[in-house]
Amino acid sequence: MLREDPRSVLIDVRTDAEWTYVGQPSLQDVGKEVLRISWQLFPSGQLNPNFVAEVRGKVADADRPLLFLCRSGGRSKAAAIAMTAAGQKACYNVAEGFEGDRDGTGHRGTVGGWKARKLPWGQS
Fold category of 9-119 in CATH = Oxidized Rhodanese; domain 1 (3.40.250)
| Distance from C-alpha of 8 to C-alpha of 5, rounded to nearest angstrom | 6
Asked whether the beta carbons of 84 and 66 are under 8 A apart, the reply is no
Q: Which pLDDT score is estimated for 124? A: 79
pLDDT at 4 over 90: yes
CA–CA distance, 64 with 89 (Å, rounded to integer): 7
The Cα–Cα gap between 112 and 106 comes to 13
| Structure confidence by residue, pLDDT tens digits, 45-98 | 999 999 999 999 999 999 999 999 999 999 999 999 999 999 999 999 999 999
Residues 6+ apart with CB under 8 A from 85: none
At residue 74, the pLDDT reads 96
For residue 100, what pLDDT is reported? 94
Let me know: does 16 contact 42? Beta carbons within 8 Å.
yes
